[in-house]
Structure 1
Amino acid sequence: MTTMSERPGPVVVVGASLAGLRAVEGVRRAGFKGELVLVGAEEHLPYNRPPLSKDLLTGMVEHNALGLCTEEHLADLGVTLRLGTPAMGLDLDAREVVLNGARLPFGSLLVTTGSRPAALPHGGAPQQGVHLLRTVDDALALRDDLLRARDVVVVGAGFVGAEVASSAAELGARVTVVEAAPAPLARALGPTIGEVCGRLHGLHGVTLRCGAGVAALEGTPAVTSVRLTDGTRLPADVVVVGVGVRPDTDWLEGSGLDLSDGVVCDETLNAGHPGIWAAGDVATWTNPLYGRRMRLQAWTAASEQALAAARNAVADTPKPCSVVPYFWSDQYGKRLAALGVPGEADEPHVVGDLEGLRFVSLHPDGDRIGMVFALDRPDLIMKFRRLVMTRAPFGEAVELAERLVAEPAHEEQGVRS
């Protein structure tokens, strides 16, 4: 592989996200002294996205408190900022990022553009009152509508949809969550745990409609109702669509990169061309820990991958990047957290109070521990990290869970939003 010394030119990071910030920090930490450029489509400095569906919507924090860094920090790193400047294309032969009316040469390129929320194929449906949630501007517009809303319909009961539903209910709206699957989070956690998590909605006055599809959004010019595939009409002043995301790779179409599932990379996060790397939601890579490709949409994974890709971008010998997937979600005053990747078994081993919604579930991958999920036990989840990382025997994880759950609960600090 071509070394950094053989690729003269600046290091360019496209995507001023958490991953983008960690990438520029990682490049400097690895000792690179040359020109370093951070390109971002938004006008904002890198900011924290998890609060967008929670504390920002409920008014617990304001948008100016979400920043991950200051201009002074980036200036100290010697970063040239190109904010409010979306990338339009990539010319691999010329080794240039195509901007609107300009071209930016690079020696190494790190792609950290993340993902975009998927929209409903609603054709001529009303636009007013219909929201996707990705940016701080999206969240502020949604918050304005939620403060005036009586009836809110959330389409999709994944982590983001559930968080929005929790926030809307806290603001006093009547909330209905529509989920096409038989149970929320069934794909990630399995049907048993997904159904248990779904009970959180009903316990807080939120109606959950599973196994239901959306036929149309109705009203002119603003949304007034959601028509389901079974003919049911749900009144709606606000509709929030949370049916998944897709990698933000439109600007890379025709570049020659493999975009079959985001930017496809090897185990070092190299995108198949000298000096081209990717990290965060936009990257699919071979995770050496599991020996298979995966694309993780998680805060911690974005940070870890970005640091690894940054080191590799300026190193003569790139190293593989191993990540233990970790996800968390705050809903209705409880924290849901998952560590690892589940196997194919549907029935986990549960330790704790399943009916009381305070437990740890252990999900096997063959005879090994694949994933640990905790509901309302944020004090325990990271105690399984070593076992998940080393692919320990499943029985060893069960023994640890039974021992930990039997211990008196410790004071939990700083874990709920």
Structure 2
Amino acid sequence: MRVTFLIHNAYGVGGTIRTTCNLSGALADLGHEVEVVSVFRHLAAPRFAYDKRVNLRHLVDTDRKSPGYEGGHPEFALPSADFPRGDHRYHEYSALTDRRIAALLAELDTDVVVGTRPGLNVQIARQAPAHVVRVGQEHLSLDAHTHRLSLTLRRVYRGLDAVTTTTRADADAYRRRMWLPGVRVSVLPNSVPDPGIEPSDCSAPRIVAVGRTTPVKRYPDLIGAFAQVAARRPDWGLRICGVGSQDRELKALVAELGLADRVTFLGNVTPVEPVMADASILVMSSRMESFGMALVEAMRVGLPVVSTDCPHGPREIISHGVDGLLVPPGDVDALAAALLELIDDGDRRRRMGREGLRKGARYDPEPIAEQCAALFQELLDTRAGTLAAPARSAAAFPRAAAHTVRDLAGASATRARRVPGALRRRLRALLGRSWPRRS
């Protein structure tokens, strides 16, 4: 099959970018034709190495060193009318991106188009051709979105064929809190390939943390916990990989606590696995994680992990006491105690590292790509009408509000009032009975 991924910027670093790179290459391995379309390109070459069989292209050139730089384009200064304001990337979109994305979607010669962030999923739901299967990937979580954006998604996502989430908890949230009749909600974890390096022997006196230095990661909690560790175990150090809005604040905190010679800020590191393999514990102090890709990356190099038990990913990845330890979010003392527990017990640390290495193999790109391809094929088969279905099922109803007759016939009057008018009229004709009118 032919698959097109639409991504904000394929040329940077980050979990969404890396998992799109991994998944596109794994789908190409399975014999599918894959392209990744990046809305923006700010560098001449991507930071991650895309498979040579994957066609990578961009819509808007924001690389100031490029002869094709479009930052001065007159439409670039005009606000977007298509990209939803609730998406926190809204300020980067413009009339130029509206026109380029609309043209891309109108001319799509593909079987499946996949959006990788809410704003792009909205544009796909509204603008992709009817013959193309439309999939919206959720790489954050429903809880991470503003109320304004959630309302938009609840309304517009009905134009999708499927929504995929990275965790079961987030899939449950979509099913429970969003009313998306006819839209399949499936779990598709992020994939992490074998890094192909020697795993850690968990003997180096180093802890590593990986992630953007932003408030959601709660690095002040981590630094506070490490201060307690440093007082008890002065031979241990902490390395932080990532950049973000709190760089200055965190470095000032480290200096204030007298830890400047014990805490090292490495900035963005690609690939990050060699740095992980040179440590003995990975720590995550976040108040929220949509998945927790760094946890899996650490497991793939044999590191035990210490993480807050935050929504949604860590508790689905870590088996507490087997391959890592979970602590309450925001509890600095508990985070310090968990780190010291592994520091003080080398045998347990190494045993957890070996268990993590085994578990990490579950996230290999091949089985996840097979799961993804199977989902896409089911959606294509459903679109083609080749799967067994009730005679008057989704195909009989308007696409954006597809549902089975039985489900709607059994709905309460309260729920029925939320059914769009066109669908109510179709139901009256099909079911031969009156349908509750709007109050």
TM-score with structure 2 setting the length: 0.25
Which has the larger Rg? 2
Q: Which has the higher strand share?
A: 1
Greater RCO (Cα-Cα under 8 Å, separation 6 or more): 1
Higher helix share: 2
- Alignment TM-score, normalising by the size of structure 1: 0.26
